[in-house]
Amino acid sequence: MPTLYHHPMSSASRFVRLILAEYGYQTDLIEEQTWEKRRDFLALNPAGTLPVYVDDSMRALCGASVISEYLDETHGVLKRDRRLLAEDPFQRAEIRRLTEWFMQKMENDVTKPLARERVYKLQMTSDQGGGAPDSKILRTARANIRQHMRYLTWLAGSRQWLAGERMSYADLAAAASVSILDYLGEIEWAEAPVVKEWYQRLKSRPSFRPMLTERVRGLTPVSHYADLDF
């Protein structure tokens, strides 16, 4: 069986897990603490980043964008109306644009700094960069949430799904990041009802269920995290 090296608070890892689940492909999951810089993991991906997908032939694919493109070319093309990357070139470009927005811009602005300060640093030793959260980084990331929630509100309010008429990689990429922020209790849902309705649709899908049951060591999620009608 293929193996996915991941971390539950990695939005890129969650994105790939959602794709695999939507396409009905099972993988063994190995939680990787990238700050440990394990030699065996670095042999798979010298960059030391997540996720890493190892297929049945022990070939490693590194990074969410690479893995998602591979899964589309090997599995998505067979799914027809369930394909997560459209066949129309312009629509594919829009899906890729939004996927990049959530996996890169939102990741750097919001998700990564919050996950690092509130989760990763609690699990690191002082030599690895662990310690108390940096309040300045937290304030900046939390201020950035508002911009991204406004953009999500516009997308979800003007389209059936974020990139168009069908659910796509764009929705899964956004939901991967939003789910981490929701776990941490960083989203004021009363201020974003349109995004809440969109997220409820994603959260109710079978592909989401495994992630909703997971818990990060030493950090309990907000009470509504696993509630489909929150």
Q: Quote the pLDDT of residue 136.
A: 98
Q: How many CB atoms lie within 10 A of CB 120?
A: 20
Summarised one tens digit per residue, pLDDT across range 97-154 is 999 999 999 999 999 999 999 999 999 999 999 999 999 999 999 999 999 999 999 9
Q: How far is CA 125 from the centre of its chain?
A: 25
Decide if 12 contacts 64 (C-beta within 8 A): yes
Predicted confidence band of residue 80 (pLDDT cuts 50, 70, 90): confident
Read off the pTM.
Answer: 0.97
Task: Spell out a b/e string for 125-154, using b for 16 or more CB atoms within 10 Å of the CB, else e.
Answer: eeeeeeeeeeeeeeeebeebbeebbebbbe
Burial of 109 (0-12, 13-18, 19+ CB in 10 A): middle
- DSSP reduced 3-state for 188: coil
Kindly state the average pLDDT of the residues 17-32.
96
Give yes or no for a contact between 28 and 4, defined as CB atoms under 8 angstroms apart: yes
pLDDT at 27 over 90: yes
| pLDDT for 24 | 93
